[in-house]
Amino acid sequence: MVLRWLLALLILVTFVGLYANEHWMTRRLALDGLGPTQHLELVDDSGSGGTSKARLVGKPGGPLAMQCEIRPVYQWPFCELQIEMKEGDLDLRRFSHIRLWLHAEGPTLDKGAAQVRVFLRNFNPVYSKAAEAEDLKPQEVGFAPGAQPQPVELRLSQFVVSSWWAQTHPLPVSLVGPELDRIRIISFSTSGQVAPGTHVIRVDRAELVGDWVAPETFRLGLVGLWMFSLLGYLVWESRAVRGRLRRSVSRSRALEKLALRDALTQVANREGLSRALELLIRSQGELIFPLSVVFVDADHFKDINDRHGHDVGDQVLQLLAQTLRANLPRDDLVARWGGEEFVLVMPQTPAAEAVAVAERLRHVLAHTAWPAGLSVTASWGVAQADSEAALEEAMREADQAMYRAKHAGRDQVISASA
Ligand X SMILES: Nc1nc2c(ncn2[C@@H]2O[C@H](COP(=O)(O)OP(=O)(O)OP(=O)(O)O)[C@@H](O)[C@H]2O)c(=O)[nH]1
Site for ligand X in 253-272 (CB under 6 A): 264
- The residue type of 271 is E
Q: Coil, helix or strand for 285?
A: helix
Q: Which is nearer to ligand X, 277 or 298 (CB)?
A: 298
Q: What CA–CA distance (Å, rounded) separates 359 from 380?
A: 9
**According to the binding rule CB under 6 A, does residue 391 interact with ligand X?**
no
**According to the binding rule CB under 6 A, does residue 219 interact with ligand X?**
no
- What is the closest distance, in whole angstroms, from the C-beta atom of residue 379 to ligand X in the complex? 7
- What is the closest distance, in whole angstroms, from the C-beta atom of residue 410 to ligand X in the complex? 6
Q: What CA–CA distance (Å, rounded) separates 97 from 28?
A: 10
Max CA-CA distance within the chain?
Answer: 150
- The residue type of 115 is Q
Q: Which is nearer to ligand X, 86 or 302 (CB)?
A: 302
Residue 31, judged by CB atoms within 10 A of its CB (0-12, 13-18, 19+), counts as buried
- The residue type of 145 is P
Nearest alpha-carbon partner for 216 in 22, 382, 410 = 22
Shortest-Cβ-distance residue relative to ligand X: 313
**Interface region with ligand X, contact rule CB under 6 A, candidates 66-74, 145-153, 309-317, 324-332:** 309-317
Q: Coil, helix or strand for 268?
A: strand
Site for ligand X in 275-304 (CB under 6 A): 297-302
Q: Which is nearer to ligand X, 133 or 316 (CB)?
A: 316
> To 10 degrees, what angle do helices 301-308 and 310-326 make?
140
Residues facing 69 on adjacent strands? 53, 198
- The residue type of 119 is F
Q: Which is nearer to ligand X, 188 or 295 (CB)?
A: 295
Q: Which is nearer to ligand X, 150 or 318 (CB)?
A: 318
Residues facing 27 on adjacent strands? 210
**According to the binding rule CB under 6 A, does residue 378 interact with ligand X?**
no
**According to the binding rule CB under 6 A, does residue 310 interact with ligand X?**
yes
- What is the closest distance, in whole angstroms, from the C-beta atom of residue 369 to ligand X in the complex? 19
**According to the binding rule CB under 6 A, does residue 317 interact with ligand X?**
yes
Q: Name every residue whose Cβ is closer than 8 Å to that of residue 148 and which is 6 or more positions away in sequence.
A: none
Q: Which is nearer to ligand X, 48 or 400 (CB)?
A: 400
Q: Site mask, ligand X, residues 336-365, x = CB under 6 A?
A: ---xx-------------------------
Q: Which is nearer to ligand X, 7 or 264 (CB)?
A: 264
Residues engaged in binding ligand X (CB under 6 A) = 264, 297-302, 305, 310, 313-314, 317, 339-340, 406
